[in-house]
């Protein structure tokens, strides 16, 4: 079973066919960065049209059992998530409505402070806000997973403590391996995994050791060390693949509507666009390289199967439905 915990590609028939060529059974797709509720609904509409156009390639995913259907019918199940709480605006009632529409993950922050928590680019991390505590409770109730991929340390640790259900960091790597702002320190990863949560490893070059020149061996060794520290059952892949996106999109991802200036994030003015992918992972047809790499660094078949998809499947099965204490 092969599941990718996060992608934000410029979707097309070509990419849908590559998903099938790569044997990808399910993906978590970002459908909101800075969109409000109405704009997010338009993105659901866009995907509904793709499901109609390419019914032999993709299908909408709501529950883990939809992955079984996708596997039986030779398709990829698409699950939706938000990289910002902007789709709920300032209305906690929209949490349930968006879950009903098919949302299954929501980050409490992108890089900035939100109404719910603090993003990893802020100087001061004040933790989960009053509204954030209520929204976590509501997300737990309906089965919308708390994602802290772009959140600051204190906020992430508090979210893990406050949530009655496991939370996720869908796309990031250990900070000690590659000290990017977005990567997660040991105490943060422990807070998430010790309560049953998941960490999805990113191949986005700004999150990799040696960036675009990162070797497959280095990436897989990092995963093996993380398995030793946190337990292989809490780990998966969340590539953060942004395939075929124009450079203008990375600027929009970082700045949305909140500033008139360009925020270069972890890049610089000379490297403002999307960085080149490492040569061992260019698109969805390359997942086999990661699987082979994990075996090559000594991980056993059960651990590899879990990281490539089995662990995400279990997490989806336990966390997408209503809460049953």
Cα–Cα dist 202/242, whole Å: 11
Residue 64 has a pLDDT of 98
In a domain, 35, yes or no: yes
Local confidence band at 83 (pLDDT 50, 70, 90 cut-offs): very high
Residue 325 has a pLDDT of 79
> Around Cβ 156, how many Cβ atoms within 10 Å?
33
Give the range among 137-141, 215-219, 271-275 with minimum mean pLDDT.
271-275
In a domain, 12, yes or no: yes
Residue 248 has a pLDDT of 86
Local confidence band at 262 (pLDDT 50, 70, 90 cut-offs): confident
Specify whether the CB–CB gap between 86 and 94 falls below 8 A: no
Locate 78 and state its tokens.
């698409």
How many structural domains is the chain composed of? 1
Whether 264 shows a pLDDT value over 80: the answer reads no
Local confidence band at 272 (pLDDT 50, 70, 90 cut-offs): low
Residue 267 has a pLDDT of 59
> Around Cβ 128, how many Cβ atoms within 10 Å?
24
Whether 270 shows a pLDDT value over 70: the answer reads no
Strands (E), 174-241: 198-201, 235-237
Residue 223 has a pLDDT of 98
Whether 269 shows a pLDDT value over 80: the answer reads no
State which residues form the domain around 265: 3-319
The pLDDT tens digits for 298-320 are 999 999 999 999 999 999 999 99
Helices 37-53, 94-101: crossing angle, 10 deg rounding:
10
Residue 61 has a pLDDT of 98
Locate 80 and state its tokens.
């939706």
In a domain, 203, yes or no: yes
Cα–Cα dist 196/169, whole Å: 12
Residue 271 has a pLDDT of 59
Whether 123 shows a pLDDT value over 70: the answer reads yes
In a domain, 243, yes or no: yes
CATH number at residue 13: 3.20.20.140
Residue 288 has a pLDDT of 98
Cα–Cα dist 167/146, whole Å: 5
The pLDDT tens digits for 28-81 are 999 999 999 999 999 999 999 999 999 999 999 999 999 999 999 999 999 999
In a domain, 102, yes or no: yes
Whether 132 shows a pLDDT value over 90: the answer reads yes
Average pLDDT, the chain: 96
Instruction: From 53, 50, 54, select the one nearest 31 (Cα to Cα).
Output: 50
Q: What percent of the chain has pLDDT over 70?
A: 97
The structure's pTM equals 0.96
Question: Does residue 273 or residue 147 have the better pLDDT?
Answer: 147
The pLDDT tens digits for 186-210 are 999 999 999 999 999 999 999 999 9
In a domain, 324, yes or no: no
In a domain, 186, yes or no: yes
Beta bridge partners of 107: 147
Residue 274 has a pLDDT of 85
> Around Cβ 180, how many Cβ atoms within 10 Å?
21
């Amino acid at each position: 079973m092969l599941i990718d915990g996060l992608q934000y590609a410029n979707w097309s028939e070509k990419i849908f066919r590559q998903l099938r060529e790569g044997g990808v059974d399910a993906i978590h797709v970002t459908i909101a960065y800075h969109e409000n509720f109405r704009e997010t609904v338009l993105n659901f509409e866009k995907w509904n049209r793709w499901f109609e156009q390419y019914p032999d390639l993709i299908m909408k995913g709501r529950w883990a059992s939809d992955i079984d259907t996708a596997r039986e019918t030779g398709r990829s199940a698409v699950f939706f998530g938000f990289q910002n709480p902007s789709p709920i605006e300032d209305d906690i009632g929209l949490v349930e409505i968006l879950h009903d529409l098919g949302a299954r993950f929501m980050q409490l922050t992108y890089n900035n402070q939100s109404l719910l928590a603090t993003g990893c680019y802020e100087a001061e991390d004040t933790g989960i806000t009053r509204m954030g505590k209520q929204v976590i409770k509501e997300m737990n109730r309906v089965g919308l997973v708390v994602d802290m991929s772009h959140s600051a340390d204190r906020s992430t640790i508090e979210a893990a403590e406050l949530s009655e259900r496991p939370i996720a960091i869908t796309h990031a790597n250990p900070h000690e391996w590659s000290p990017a702002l977005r990567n997660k320190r040991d105490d943060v990863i422990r807070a998430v995994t010790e309560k049953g949560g998941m960490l999805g490893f990113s191949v986005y070059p700004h999150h990799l050791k040696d960036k675009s020149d990162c070797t497959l061996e280095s990436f897989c060794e990092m995963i093996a060390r993380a398995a030793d520290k946190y337990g292989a059952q809490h780990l998966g892949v969340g590539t953060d693949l942004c395939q075929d996106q124009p450079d203008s999109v990375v600027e929009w991802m970082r700045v949305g509507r909140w500033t008139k200036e360009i925020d270069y994030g972890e890049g610089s003015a000379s490297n403002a666009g999307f960085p080149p992918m490492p040569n061992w992972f260019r698109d969805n047809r390359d997942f086999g390289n990661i699987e082979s790499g994990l075996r090559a660094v000594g991980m056993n078949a059960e651990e590899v199967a879990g990281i490539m998809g089995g662990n995400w499947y279990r997490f989806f099965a336990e966390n997408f439905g209503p809460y049953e204490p």
